[in-house]
Amino acid sequence: MPDRSEVAYFGAGPAPLPTKVLVKGAEAFVNFQNTGLSLAEISHRSQTANQILADTKAALTTLLEIPDSHDILFMHGGGSAEFSAVVLNMVAVWVEKRRREAEKDLGQDSAAIIERVRKELQDYLRLDYLVTGSWSLKASQEAANLLEPLGKGFVNVAVDSRKSASGKFDNIPAEDAWTLTQPRNQGGKTSAFVYYCDNETVDGVEFPNFPKCLDPDSSDEVPVVADMSSNFLSRRVDVSKHAVIFGGAQKNIGITDVTLVIVRKDVLATQPPPSFLHAVGVWSPPTILSWPVVAKNNSLYNTMPIFSIWIAGEVMRGLLETHQDRQLAGQEEVANAKAKQIYDALDRYPEVYQIVPDRSVRSRMNICFRVNGGDAGQEKAFLEGAEAQLLQGLKGHRSVGGIRISNYNAVDVDKVRRLTRYLEGFARKSKR
């Protein structure tokens, strides 16, 4: 039976956690801080649970330098539930803005207000998606599905990177090729938001920087929504440029069951009454996905997995302890250095390893490549050889195949070194 220290796990999520956190977690699972109770047994409304929520929020605020303008929510349902929550909450914001404007023009004539907003909705509502991989594609499909009762054409895919020469999600076209919805003064249509997935876990594509044209200084203040499920806490992020950032915890932050949402407070405060949404023909968010409801209840609208939130807090406190006042700048350096080691090893043998994404958008978290042009026998041999050395979790996502190395924060430098040695050895053998 292998010891934990002998196994190097590169799975894409759930993913490795720092051993120190697991050891402390095992103790807390049985007897939390000598209370005689497991953290999984205590009430989510207890003083202890409230303290855990507060401590985890404080650690995240410090790490990401979250400004006062934003709130932190803990939610259920993973990134997938947020695909729906984003649409329902942000369309509600769009409707409320239009309702307030109509109210200014039409006073208390509620039938006229409803009529006007209903018409504006049909004519002007758009949701902009940057589709750069499998997860942003899924999110855009969920948006189209949720808006289907209203009609078609509300989702504007401003970029679909498969439309490049290769036909694959392996690049991010230049910003001037994006067809974002024009601002209102150029034809009336306005986006409820622009959505991007910062790191595409399946395809190994990561935005190198925050897109310039989405900068609130240069755009028409369209709210920006980002899925950071798979690169959360791996680099610095300018939270102030985003209306919403979300991600499941189970890759870089903790264990499954808790979803983090960082949301600007004005989004929470710009929600119409559900009856108005219904009157104009839009779903109101189900209570469990309603950000304002979750915020009002300090993330305790219903029973939250306090153990999972505590684990996330421990991981965050570990990062703060390691990097001190350098916070995420420190972790970013480590993540970049590990990714560089792996890419350098792959690049040394281009005839054996073919990295899928373009160099300019290579993910630091999920490194996707083919062996000998995707030769099934060679890839099988690669995976079997790796398994024999306890290098695990390397099989690419079932939808794209190939090999994927997930280089999350808890994958330590020694294990990356072991893996690169294997990459070198395998390449030299297959070249012979």
Ligand X SMILES: Cc1ncc(COP(=O)(O)O)c(C=O)c1O
Residues 131-150 that bind ligand X (CB under 6 A): 135
Cα gap 23→4, rounded to integer Å: 12
Q: Pairing relation of β-strands 366-371 and 353-355?
A: antiparallel
Residues 213-232 that bind ligand X (CB under 6 A): 227, 229-230
80 near ligand X, judged by CB under 6 A: yes
78 near ligand X, judged by CB under 6 A: yes
Cα gap 313→49, rounded to integer Å: 12
Taking the complex as a whole, how short is the minimal distance between the CB of residue 198 and ligand X, in angstroms? 8
Q: How many residues does the chain have?
A: 432
79 near ligand X, judged by CB under 6 A: yes
Binding mask 168-207 for ligand X (x = CB under 6 A): -----------------------------x---x------
13 near ligand X, judged by CB under 6 A: yes
Cα gap 127→78, rounded to integer Å: 21
Output DSSP code: residue 287.
G
Taking the complex as a whole, how short is the minimal distance between the CB of residue 78 and ligand X, in angstroms? 2
Cβ-based neighbours of 171, under 8 Å, separated by 6 or more: 161, 164, 205, 357, 358, 360, 361
Taking the complex as a whole, how short is the minimal distance between the CB of residue 126 and ligand X, in angstroms? 22
Q: Which two tokens stand for residue 432?
A: 């012979």
Size of the site for ligand X (CB under 6 A): 11
In this structure, which amino acid lies at residue 10? F
Taking the complex as a whole, how short is the minimal distance between the CB of residue 382 and ligand X, in angstroms? 23
Q: How far, rounded to the nearest angstrom, does the alpha carbon of residue 95 sit from its chain's CA centroid?
A: 26
Taking the complex as a whole, how short is the minimal distance between the CB of residue 109 and ligand X, in angstroms? 43
Cα gap 103→177, rounded to integer Å: 38
Residue nearest to ligand X (CB): 78
Cα gap 423→377, rounded to integer Å: 16
Stretch that binds ligand X, among 25-33, 73-81, 113-121, 281-289 (CB under 6 A): 73-81
Query: Judged by CB, which is closer to ligand X: 120, or 203?
Result: 203
Q: Which two tokens stand for residue 61?
A: 């605020």
Q: Pairing relation of β-strands 155-160 and 353-355?
A: unpaired
Taking the complex as a whole, how short is the minimal distance between the CB of residue 227 and ligand X, in angstroms? 5
What residues make contact with ligand X under the rule CB under 6 A?
Answer: 13, 78-80, 135, 197, 201, 227, 229-230, 248
